[in-house]
Amino acid sequence: MLHLSDDKITFLEEKALEIRKSIVEMLMEAKSGHTAGSLGMADVFSAFYFHILKHDPRNPSWEERDRLVLSNGHICPVLYAAMAHSGYFPVEELKTLRKFGSRLQGHPHREFLPMLETSSGPLGHGLSQAIGMAFADRLDKGFSSSRFIYCFMGDGELDEGAVWEAMMLAGKERLRNLIAIVDRNNIQIDGFTENVMPLEPLRDKFESFGWHVLEIDGHNMEAIVNAVEEAKAIFEKPSIIIAHTIPGKGVKMFQNDYKWHGNPPDQKQGGSALAELRTLGGQIASEHE
């Protein structure tokens, strides 16, 4: 397994913190949007955009890039923040989230922001889109392709039957260039997942559909990177990473409360959240000194 240096871990954690701050600022400005899932996935997005993903912000249409499909499009604040901080567009543009005429729509819209791989909104369909990309890449380049197709999904959207049809197809076709990441934060808009529509035993279900399954702490940078490296080494089947995350991670007021799934902070709540995140920044620096 890979071992990230302390400096690299600190760098990725600091990037995740920047992303979290931007998410809070965006949502405060927009006065609408999704808080909990966006904050909870900041570590995963930091690991991808600043270490894992093969991409070039200066050349977004680079042919050899990996593809990242965000199926649960409502957490687009974390996607936009990661893209901005990695150089796709100015960080200042994040404040236009959900505003009329903005490129940063409330759900990712490729017509407005062409460097996105897909448009997403209706839950449960991103995996099918990613499978199409993985299929096409295999047809074009055979099994020698070094490109990977990543599909990020929420656990709540696993209630959609289309997800399981897609899972069956990917397993049947042994799409080894497809890696899915499920944000297992245990909440959805109506409550806790296990109360709304129980998903467990989730690992067993994925394995029964012919996928290689890994489970990780979605806030541990080394665990995130190592899981992706293991998934890349699996040649006989697609892989799925169950990333256990804390919704609202980084701000105690938001953490593990499903009511923040689709609600933004007001000015007072946002100010308090930013102050807490600034304190967290000092802790990150001291932990790695």
Give the length of the chain: 289
* pLDDT, tens digit (0-9, with 9 covering 90-100), for 174-187: 999 999 999 999 99
The answer to whether residue 286 scores a pLDDT higher than 70 is no
* pLDDT, tens digit (0-9, with 9 covering 90-100), for 186-224: 999 999 999 999 999 999 999 999 999 999 999 999 999
Instruction: Give the strands of the sheet with 149-154, arranged side by side.
Output: 67-70, 149-154, 178-184, 239-244, 212-217
What does pLDDT average to over the chain?
Answer: 95
**Which amino acid appears at position 75 of this protein?**
I
pLDDT computed for residue 145 by the predictor: 77
Instruction: Give CA–CA dist 79/64, Å, rounded.
Output: 21
The answer to whether residue 235 scores a pLDDT higher than 80 is yes
* pLDDT, tens digit (0-9, with 9 covering 90-100), for 41-84: 999 999 999 999 999 999 999 999 999 999 999 999 999 999 99
pLDDT computed for residue 146 by the predictor: 85
Handedness of CA 55, 20, 247, 258 (dihedral sign): negative
pLDDT computed for residue 143 by the predictor: 72
Instruction: Give CA–CA dist 79/263, Å, rounded.
Output: 17
* pLDDT, tens digit (0-9, with 9 covering 90-100), for 155-169: 999 999 999 999 999
Q: Percentage of residues in the chain with pLDDT exceeding 70?
A: 97
Are the C-beta atoms of 75 and 45 separated by less than 8 Å?
no
Predicted confidence band at 93 (pLDDT cuts at 50, 70, 90)?
A: very high
pLDDT computed for residue 66 by the predictor: 97
Collapsing DSSP to helix, strand or coil, 260 comes out as helix
Q: Percentage of residues in the chain with pLDDT exceeding 90?
A: 92
pLDDT computed for residue 289 by the predictor: 60
The answer to whether residue 283 scores a pLDDT higher than 80 is no
pLDDT computed for residue 280 by the predictor: 83
Handedness of CA 192, 193, 198, 201 (dihedral sign): negative
Predicted confidence band at 285 (pLDDT cuts at 50, 70, 90)?
A: low
pLDDT computed for residue 3 by the predictor: 77
Domain ranges of the chain: 6-287
* pLDDT, tens digit (0-9, with 9 covering 90-100), for 113-146: 999 999 998 899 999 999 999 999 999 887 767 8
pTM of the model: 0.95
* Domain 6-287 class, CATH top level: alpha beta
